[in-house]
Chain A
Amino acid sequence: MDALRVLPFLGLALWMVPLLWPLGPGPEGLPPGTGADTAPGMTTADALRYIFGVWLLLILSAAVLWRRTGDLPGPGEPVDPAAPAEGGG
């Protein structure tokens, strides 16, 4: 349950990491194909890997938590008194 609560904050923190990355130089003045070799910045491919990696991690964790916690939100779940009538609407 605590993991469920903490997970979004973990995701937020991980996704805000790119704020720390150095900005690469602009496209002008850079010969095509040499950017990755000369600039110290992050390449887009690495950034992609990182961001989608975090994404995948979050999805998997959420799925695992869903499996683990099961029907946890059950208690206090409201029972709809008019549920059988809905079909007639």
Chain B
Amino acid sequence: MVSLNQLVIVCLTYVAGLFIVAFAAERAALRGHGDWLLRSPLVYTLSLSIYCTAWTFYGAVGYAARSGLEYVTIYLGPSLIMVAWWWLLRRLVRIGRAQRVTSIADLISSRFGKSNLLAIVVTTMAVIGVTPYIALQLQSVTLSLSIFAVSEAPADGAVPDLGSSALWVAVGLALFTVLFGTRNLNVNERHHGVVIAVAVEAVVKLVALLAVGIFVVWGLAGGIENTLARIDASDIGQWRVDGSRWAALTILAAAAFVCLPRMFQVMVVENDDERHLQIASWAFPLYLMLMSLFVVPIAVTGLDLLPPGSNPDLFVLSLPLSEGQNGLAMLSFLGGFSSATSMVIVATLALSTMVSNHIVMPIFLAVRQGGASQSGDVRNVVILARRLSILLIIGLGYSYYRASGGSGALAAIGLISFGGVAQFLPALLGGIFWRGATRAGALSGLATGFALWMFTMLLPSFGEGVALSAGIFAEGVLGLGWLRPQALFGIEGLDPTVHAVVWSLSLNALVFGLVSIFTFPDPVERLQGAQFVNVLDHSRPTRSWTASVAGSEELMIMAQRILGAREAQVFFRHWAQRQGGAGTLPEPTPDFVQALERELAGAVGAATAHAMVAQIVGGASVSVQDLLAVADESAQMLEYSSQLEAKSRELVETAAQLRAANEKLTQLSLQKDNFLSQISHELRTPMTSIRSFSEILRDTDRLSAEDKTRYASIIHTEALRLTRLLDDLLDLSVLENGQVTLNLARCTLGDVLDHAVTTAQTGATRPLTIERDPAEENLGFLTDPDRLAQVFINLVTNAQKYCVSAAPRLRISTARHDGWIDVIFLDNGAGIAPQDRALVFEKFTRLMRTGDAGDGAGLGLSICREIMTRLGGHIDLVEGGDGTAFRVRLPAGQAEAPKARVGDMQRVG
């Protein structure tokens, strides 16, 4: 016989062994050894087996003994889900990886716009939903202990108090989980120790159950055929499974398999490689099949061999015990113990992560003002929060166990838990397949489903008169017949479980869909929705830190507080080396910041880590602010690029102007050179003749008076010419320097022209016909008549000198428009070549002309231009026409109404 003390010793040894395995695994992972095992699909598949808890180990047999084959539905659902990995799990794993999801609450909140409210709701629901499950584990361990206690007890039946043993188991599990689950803080990275321990426990429970099964089939029943015959002969030998329960339970189990926080943890969060999924798609159903293979034989044999009234939930233990197989019984107990502990460890781990990340940390960060820039080590807070959450969750499980009286069948309790977490399914599926799903829809759907679940499943499970009075069971809330917890809307006769599942899930989905249709998602929801639904199209994580403005020092300070000084330094140094830098601080590249955020997410959860890094780095691409920032950034870039464009346009224009100026300068320089030689020539020619003739006058004594006069007049003429040249130069210089004073007077255009034409033609050698229209010229205005006449004289003289026509003719016409008076001088000469047009008004320009080139100094038009500028007008060369056309433009503001002056075309010969 096995004594309780022996049992406790074996258990402790087993737990110590698990610790060693977990410790060794973490050490190996730390050193980078053993990846072939730690990251193998085998370990992944085995870790999925935490689906099979003590409920499976003990409860399935009890379930089978009570209801026949119905128990198998609990395993058919998950098998289908695994086989359907291509549809659902692949997406979930991809999303989990792309969005760095740490829990199912994280996934749902992240999908619906990173809503913390939603995360809190899901976390709360998960805690409430999983509580019965933890109670179930307590109950099963307590029950299994009680079997040994009973068998050990003396005949007078002094059975030890079971309640206290449940408390001790709860305390033990809590301690175990606190030590085991919060050994390290990193959740986002894989929990190699826990995963390996879970895998070992998976093997233990499978081996234990198979051993009992083989013992029963071949040891007690005498082979397969006999066993099958015995099955058919038993009370459960007939197919009596209610169809609705069959279908509803299969769906419920499938839903729970996806939605259970601990399943999500091992299936999505701890997943290393997507390809493991496909291997698990057949390996895990195989595991489930093996686990449920011997359930019916054990149940039937137990019913046969054990005394009536034995608890069928414990056949797995009591059968070997009754046959005196103490070793097998011990193995079986260990199997059950493994199932319970692994489930509690992972479930509380997952739940405590959710609680600390979604409830405690946001509150803590909100209370401690300053967010990420506060001082102090956040790690202690996180670990403390997690440990307290673990205690809280296990405490809740224990309370539930006490409250429900510990009497319910294991299967019933398990189904209640399933029903609770299955409420996540509509929001989850809607979230990853339907972009139109909104936060409001998810919240209201979850609330509806959860309320119904509480009312129809959880509260009734305490029994009549505990949470709900008998009156409510019979007559409904407030006496409303359609609000009876097991006959909603007056539909009676349904199985309570089916009733609860159908109503809660269908109304949940209905409300979720309807509210989603009638509400609008905000931008972050839209963005996240698109990323979730289309995760397979672009599997790269779309978020990335865009800025490299983060200071490595600041990141280091923050990381030290969360990861611990040593770990943070190791991490930073590793990255610094990886980037090839010499120092201990790496460059804050997007890759590095992303890796750091992942590291932090393991400690404080994705949302919190994201927020903290965002405070320092200043924006990735997922919050509204970030979106706005992105929009701003692109707007800025647009603006910047248009500025650049404008600048480059400006540059091009400036370059063109520079080129033109340069060209002009070169020409001017050439002109100047020409002019200098010209002017020297101009000056020297008269000077030479003046000198020569004055020498003649001085040295020659016998000169006739006639010659003297002639020579003296030559000297005089040349001196005049010199004077004129110097006058011109002086005039131009004065005009250019703005030192000229204008003698403004009132005059008419006609008078000025008359004066100019007369002066210009005085002494002219060539005949020039000038055509004028006196009527046009009858414009009075205020100007400097002498200066204006100088311009006109110059133009007439030019025409006289340079017009190459045989019968030179100059037409002077006047026009008024747009506030200007235009006087156009058009001759019938050859015109000016295009390449010379830019130069005519420059100083010292003398165009190569036939005729009497060299007569002037080339200053006339320059002087004209300067005068016109002083007078407020300008002079330019007009294109087109045959000859040369100069336009003198005067401001008409000073013009007056024409005086009455009659005249016709005046011809001046």
Residues of A that sit less than 8 Å from B by CB: 4-5, 7-8, 11-12, 15-16, 18-19, 21-27, 32-33, 35-36, 39, 41-48, 51-52, 55-56, 58-63, 66, 69, 71-74, 76-78, 80-82, 84-89
Answer yes or no: B186 CB below 8 A from chain A CBs: yes
Question: When chains A and B are docked, how far (Å) is the Cα of A36 from the Cα of B108?
Answer: 50
Residue pair A45, B231 in contact (C-beta under 8 Å): yes
Please give, as numbers and ranges, the residues of chain B lying within 8 Å of A51 by CB-CB distance: 69, 72, 76
Residue B278 contacts which of A12, A69, A81 (CB distance < 8 angstroms)? A69
Residue pair A24, B240 in contact (C-beta under 8 Å): yes
Question: When chains A and B are docked, how far (Å) is the Cα of A82 from the Cα of B79?
Answer: 33
Q: Whose C-beta in chain B lies nearest to the C-beta of A76?
A: B539
13 pairs, A vs B, C-beta closer than 8 Å: A16-B246, A18-B241, A27-B235, A27-B236, A35-B233, A42-B239, A43-B237, A45-B229, A45-B231, A51-B69, A55-B79, A72-B278, A87-B30
Residue A36 contacts which of B232, B296, B599 (CB distance < 8 angstroms)? B232
Residue pair A78, B540 in contact (C-beta under 8 Å): yes
Known: A45-B237, A59-B282. 20 other contacts (CB 8 A): A11-B80, A15-B80, A16-B246, A23-B242, A35-B232, A44-B238, A47-B69, A51-B69, A52-B289, A55-B289, A58-B282, A60-B282, A61-B282, A62-B82, A73-B275, A82-B598, A87-B30, A88-B571, A89-B184, A89-B602
Contact with A along B166-192 (1 / 0, CB 8 A): 000000000000000000101001100
Please give, as numbers and ranges, the residues of chain A lying within 8 Å of B94 by CB-CB distance: 78
Please give, as numbers and ranges, the residues of chain B lying within 8 Å of A21 by CB-CB distance: 239
Answer yes or no: B591 CB below 8 A from chain A CBs: yes
Q: Whose C-beta in chain A lies nearest to the C-beta of B599?
A: A89
Q: For B186, B241, B599, which residue has the most chain A Cβ atoms within 10 angstroms?
A: B241
Surface stretch bound by A, among B83-91, B470-478, B862-870:
B83-91
Question: When chains A and B are docked, how far (Å) is the Cα of A71 from the Cα of B278?
Answer: 9
- A63 to B: closest C-beta gap in Å: 4
A73/B90 contact (C-beta < 8 A), A44-B68, A87-B32 known = yes
Residues of B that sit less than 8 Å from A by CB: 29-32, 68-69, 72, 76, 79-84, 86-87, 90, 94, 97-98, 184, 186, 189-190, 228-229, 231-243, 246-247, 250, 274-275, 277-279, 281-282, 285-286, 289, 293, 296, 536, 539-541, 567, 570-571, 574-575, 578, 591, 594-595, 598-599, 602
Residue pair B595, A44 in contact (C-beta under 8 Å): no
Please give, as numbers and ranges, the residues of chain B lying within 8 Å of A23 by CB-CB distance: 238-242
Question: When chains A and B are docked, how far (Å) is the Cα of A59 from the Cα of B229?
Answer: 27
Residue pair A44, B574 in contact (C-beta under 8 Å): no
Please give, as numbers and ranges, the residues of chain A lying within 8 Å of B285 by CB-CB distance: 55, 58-59, 62
Question: When chains A and B are docked, how far (Å) is the Cα of A42 from the Cα of B81?
Answer: 27
- A27 to B: closest C-beta gap in Å: 4
- A30 to B: closest C-beta gap in Å: 8
Please give, as numbers and ranges, the residues of chain B lying within 8 Å of A55 by CB-CB distance: 76, 79, 285, 289
Closest 8 CB pairs between A and B? A24-B238, A8-B84, A62-B282, A42-B239, A82-B595, A89-B189, A63-B282, A45-B228
Residue A8 contacts which of B80, B189, B279, B296 (CB distance < 8 angstroms)? B80
A11/B231 contact (C-beta < 8 A), A39-B238, A55-B285 known = no
Q: Whose C-beta in chain A lies nearest to the C-beta of B188?
A: A89
- B293 to A: closest C-beta gap in Å: 7
Please give, as numbers and ranges, the residues of chain B lying within 8 Å of A4 by CB-CB distance: 86
A85/B575 contact (C-beta < 8 A), A11-B79, A55-B285 known = yes
Q: Whose C-beta in chain B lies nearest to the C-beta of A55?
A: B289
Question: When chains A and B are docked, how far (Å) is the Cα of A52 from the Cα of B285?
Answer: 11
- B577 to A: closest C-beta gap in Å: 11
Residue pair A19, B80 in contact (C-beta under 8 Å): no
Please give, as numbers and ranges, the residues of chain B lying within 8 Å of A43 by CB-CB distance: 231-232, 237-239
Residue pair A76, B536 in contact (C-beta under 8 Å): yes
Residue pair A78, B98 in contact (C-beta under 8 Å): yes
Q: Whose C-beta in chain A lies nearest to the C-beta of B288?
A: A55
Q: Whose C-beta in chain B lies nearest to the C-beta of A16?
A: B247
Question: When chains A and B are docked, how far (Å) is the Cα of A82 from the Cα of B228?
Answer: 55
Question: When chains A and B are docked, how far (Å) is the Cα of A5 from the Cα of B905?
Answer: 104
Q: Whose C-beta in chain B lies nearest to the C-beta of A4?
A: B86
Please give, as numbers and ranges, the residues of chain A lying within 8 Å of B32 by CB-CB distance: 87
- B230 to A: closest C-beta gap in Å: 9
Residue pair B536, A41 in contact (C-beta under 8 Å): no
Please give, as numbers and ranges, the residues of chain A lying within 8 Å of B239 by CB-CB distance: 18, 21-24, 41-44, 46-47
Question: When chains A and B are docked, how far (Å) is the Cα of A58 from the Cα of B79?
Answer: 9
Question: When chains A and B are docked, how far (Å) is the Cα of A33 from the Cα of B31?
Answer: 62
Q: Whose C-beta in chain A lies nearest to the C-beta of B41?
A: A66
- B549 to A: closest C-beta gap in Å: 20
A62/B236 contact (C-beta < 8 A), A18-B241, A77-B274, A89-B599 known = no
Question: When chains A and B are docked, how far (Å) is the Cα of A21 from the Cα of B536?
Answer: 41
Please give, as numbers and ranges, the residues of chain B lying within 8 Å of A88 by CB-CB distance: 30, 567, 570-571, 574
Residue pair A73, B278 in contact (C-beta under 8 Å): yes
- B907 to A: closest C-beta gap in Å: 96
Q: For A8, A74, A82, A89, which residue has the most chain B Cβ atoms within 10 angstroms?
A: A89
Residue pair A15, B76 in contact (C-beta under 8 Å): yes
Residue B238 contacts which of A8, A12, A42 (CB distance < 8 angstroms)? A42
Please give, as numbers and ranges, the residues of chain A lying within 8 Å of B278 by CB-CB distance: 66, 69, 72-73
Question: When chains A and B are docked, how far (Å) is the Cα of A18 from the Cα of B388?
Answer: 47
Question: When chains A and B are docked, how far (Å) is the Cα of A19 from the Cα of B70?
Answer: 12
Q: Whose C-beta in chain B lies nearest to the C-beta of A56?
A: B289
- A8 to B: closest C-beta gap in Å: 3
Q: Whose C-beta in chain A lies nearest to the C-beta of B68?
A: A44
Residue B69 contacts which of A25, A26, A44, A86 (CB distance < 8 angstroms)? A44
Residue A44 contacts which of B31, B275, B296 (CB distance < 8 angstroms)? B296
Residue pair B233, A32 in contact (C-beta under 8 Å): yes
Q: Whose C-beta in chain A lies nearest to the C-beta of B31?
A: A87
Residue pair B231, A19 in contact (C-beta under 8 Å): no
Residue A19 contacts which of B76, B247, B279, B578 (CB distance < 8 angstroms)? B247
Residue pair A12, B80 in contact (C-beta under 8 Å): yes
Question: When chains A and B are docked, how far (Å) is the Cα of A12 from the Cα of B77?
Answer: 9
Question: When chains A and B are docked, how far (Å) is the Cα of A64 from the Cα of B82?
Answer: 15
Question: When chains A and B are docked, how far (Å) is the Cα of A20 from the Cα of B81?
Answer: 23
Residue A7 contacts which of B83, B189, B571 (CB distance < 8 angstroms)? B83
- A59 to B: closest C-beta gap in Å: 5
Residue pair B236, A44 in contact (C-beta under 8 Å): yes
- A88 to B: closest C-beta gap in Å: 6
Question: When chains A and B are docked, how far (Å) is the Cα of A15 from the Cα of B69?
Answer: 12
Residue pair A89, B186 in contact (C-beta under 8 Å): yes
Please give, as numbers and ranges, the residues of chain A lying within 8 Å of B97 by CB-CB distance: 78, 80
Question: When chains A and B are docked, how far (Å) is the Cα of A73 from the Cα of B94?
Answer: 11
